Amino acid sequence: MGALLVDIRSAEQRERDGEIPGAEVIDRTVLEWRLDPGSAHRIAAASGHEVRVIVICAEGYSSSLAAASLQDLGLVNATDVIGGFEAWRAAGLPLRNLEA
């Protein structure tokens, strides 16, 4: 079973630094109701409480709080990327540059 990578960085950060191919972009302010399997406004991938959700922010601070909030909703496999996008980029993982 795969994982759902959720990028909660701002539009400005994604435009400046690039996007992660395949990541679902969800604004932090609506994260819980978009991923709560019981929400009428959830995304299709939020099909149950067992879904593996990996949250990523810029440096890993807000994503750890977001993952804890998702766990409180019952998403038992919610976690985050230690070091956030900066660690992702430093590891040489795939990026899509948005700047022209």
In a domain, 73, yes or no: yes
**4-8, 55-59, 93-97: lowest mean pLDDT where?**
93-97
Range of the domain at 79: 3-90
In a domain, 62, yes or no: yes
In a domain, 11, yes or no: yes
Per the CB < 8 A criterion, the answer to whether 23 and 78 are in contact is: no
**23-27, 59-63, 95-99: lowest mean pLDDT where?**
95-99
In a domain, 40, yes or no: yes
In a domain, 100, yes or no: no
In a domain, 99, yes or no: no
Q: What is the pLDDT of residues 18-43, one digit of tens each?
A: 999 999 999 999 999 999 999 999 99
CATH at residue 83: 3.40.250.10
Q: What is the pLDDT of residues 62-73, one digit of tens each?
A: 999 999 999 999
Which pLDDT score is estimated for 99?
59
Number of domains in the chain: 1
pTM value is: 0.93
